[in-house]
Structure 1
Amino acid sequence: MDRETRAFAESHFRRLRGRPAGGVGATPGRVDFIESPDSFSYADFFKGYLLPNVPCVFSSSFTEGWGSRRRWVTPGGKPAFEHLLRNYGDVVVPVANCGVREYNSNPKEHMLLRDYISYWKDYIQGGSSSPRGCLYLKDWHLCRAPLAEDVFTLPVYFSSDWLNEYWDVLDVDDYRFVYMGPAGTWSPFHADIFRSFSWSVNICGRKRWFFFPPGQEEALRDCHGGLPYDVTSPTLLDGRLYPMRKHCSPPLELTQEAGEMVFVPSGWHHQVHNLEDTISINHNWVNGCNLANMWHFLQQELRAVQQEVSQWRDTMPDWDHHCQVIMRSCSGINFEEFYHFLKIIAERRLLLLTKELGPGDMEGSAGRGLGPQQAAFDVSRIAEVLASVVAHPDFQRVDTSVFSLQPGELLQQLEEVVAATASL
Structure 2
Amino acid sequence: MDRETRVFAENHFRGLRGRLPSRVCPPLDRVDFIEKPDSFTYADFFKGYLLPNVPCVFSSAFTESWGCRKHWVTPSGKPDFDYLLQNYGDVVVPVANCGVQEYNSNPKEHMPLRDYISYWKEFIQGDYSSPRGCLYLKDWHLCRDFSAEGVFTLPVYFSSDWLNEYWDFLDVDDYRFIYMGPTGTWSPFHADIFRSFSWSVNICGRKKWLFFPPGQEEALRDCYGGLPYDVTTPALLDNHLHPKHQPCSPPLEVTQEAGEMVFVPSGWHHQVHNLELCAVQQEVSEWKDSMPDWHNHCQVIMRSCSGINFEEFYHFLKIIAKRRLLVLTKEAGPGKAEGSEGTGLGRQQATFDIGRIAEVLASVVVHPDFQRLDTSVFSPKPEDLLQQLEETVAAATSL
For Structure 1 versus Structure 2, the TM-score category normalised by the shorter chain is over 0.9
> Secondary structure of the equivalent of 2:375?
coil
- CA–CA separation in structure 1 for the residues paired with 2:352 and 2:384: 20
Counterpart of 1:66 in structure 2: which amino acid?
A: W
Deviation at 1:149, TM superposition (A): 5.2
Counterpart of 2:153 in structure 1: which amino acid?
A: T
Query: Runs of 5+ in structure 2 lacking a partner?
Result: none
- CA–CA separation in structure 1 for the residues paired with 2:104 and 2:22: 22
| Fraction of identical pairs, as percent | 81
The answer for the alignment partner of 2:5 in structure 1 is 5
Choose which of 359, 366, 378 in structure 1 pairs with 2:353.
378
- CA–CA separation in structure 1 for the residues paired with 2:307 and 2:359: 23
Query: Structure 1-normalised TM-score?
Result: 0.91
Counterpart of 1:247 in structure 2: which amino acid?
A: P
Deviation at 1:359, TM superposition (A): 12
Counterpart of 2:160 in structure 1: which amino acid?
A: S
Bigger CA drift: 226-235 or 35-44?
Answer: 226-235
Counterpart of 1:140 in structure 2: which amino acid?
A: W
The answer (yes or no) to whether the contact 1:160–1:367 under 8 Å persists in 2 is no
Q: Does 1:264 align with 2:239?
A: no
The answer (yes or no) to whether the contact 1:66–1:151 under 8 Å persists in 2 is yes
The answer for the alignment partner of 1:347 in structure 2 is 322
The answer (yes or no) to whether the contact 2:55–2:262 under 8 Å persists in 1 is yes
The answer for the alignment partner of 1:33 in structure 2 is 33
- CA–CA separation in structure 2 for the residues paired with 1:361 and 1:188: 37
Deviation at 1:371, TM superposition (A): 0.5
The answer (yes or no) to whether the contact 2:188–2:272 under 8 Å persists in 1 is yes
The answer (yes or no) to whether the contact 1:359–1:371 under 8 Å persists in 2 is no
The answer for the alignment partner of 2:96 in structure 1 is 96
Q: Does 1:228 align with 2:228?
A: yes
The answer for the alignment partner of 1:368 in structure 2 is 343
The answer for the alignment partner of 1:319 in structure 2 is 294
Q: Does 1:332 align with 2:278?
A: no
Deviation at 1:363, TM superposition (A): 7.5
- CA–CA separation in structure 2 for the residues paired with 1:131 and 1:183: 16
Query: Structure 2-normalised TM-score?
Result: 0.96
Deviation at 1:385, TM superposition (A): 1.0
Counterpart of 1:272 in structure 2: which amino acid?
A: V
After superposition, where does 1:36-51 map in structure 2 within 5 Å? 36-51=36-51
Q: Does 1:64 align with 2:64?
A: yes
Deviation at 1:310, TM superposition (A): 2.2
Distance 1:161 1:148, change over 3 A: closer
The answer (yes or no) to whether the contact 1:74–1:80 under 8 Å persists in 2 is yes
Bigger CA drift: 238-247 or 165-174?
Answer: 238-247
The answer (yes or no) to whether the contact 1:85–1:113 under 8 Å persists in 2 is yes
The answer for the alignment partner of 1:122 in structure 2 is 122
Counterpart of 1:352 in structure 2: which amino acid?
A: V
> Secondary structure of the equivalent of 1:247?
coil
Counterpart of 1:86 in structure 2: which amino acid?
A: Q
After superposition, where does 1:74-113 map in structure 2 within 5 Å? 74-113=74-113
The answer (yes or no) to whether the contact 1:88–1:147 under 8 Å persists in 2 is no
The answer (yes or no) to whether the contact 1:89–1:113 under 8 Å persists in 2 is yes
The answer (yes or no) to whether the contact 2:338–2:346 under 8 Å persists in 1 is no
RMSD after superposition: 1.7
- CA–CA separation in structure 1 for the residues paired with 2:26 and 2:378: 42
Deviation at 1:247, TM superposition (A): 0.2
- CA–CA separation in structure 1 for the residues paired with 2:168 and 2:147: 17
Once the two structures are superposed, residues 44-96 of structure 1 have per-residue CA deviations (whole angstroms, 9 ceiling, x without a partner) of 00000000000000000000000000000001000000000000000000000
- CA–CA separation in structure 2 for the residues paired with 1:149 and 1:53: 30
Deviation at 1:330, TM superposition (A): 1.5
